[in-house]
Amino acid sequence: MAKKSQSQIAKPKRSRFAFVGETIGELRKVVWPTRQETLRLTIMVLIVCIVVGIVLGALDYGFSELVSKVFLGGS
């Protein structure tokens, strides 16, 4: 007799609500950041976003001027 593959083996039925209990159990294992860590990381993300926005804005402005002067013959 041939072995059954993984897809042929019947899985035990579980309650639809077991997922909720398992999720709560996993969330209790999570090590949550402190308020100070959260504040510091939030400020860091905002600073990086602002710096990247300035760099991308400067590149956009530079390329717009280049296209305007080279291709469109603007003054």
Helices (H), ranges, the chain: 18-29, 35-70
Q: Kindly list the domain boundaries of the chain, sorted by start residue.
A: 33-75
Consecutive 10-residue averages of pLDDT for the chain (75 residues):
62 75 91 96 98 98 92 74
Give the pLDDT of residue 11: 63
Do 26 and 20 meet the contact criterion of CB atoms below 8 Å apart? no
Give the pLDDT of residue 72: 82
Give the pLDDT of residue 16: 76
Distance CA 52, CA 58 (A): 10
Give the pLDDT of residue 55: 98
Give the pLDDT of residue 61: 97
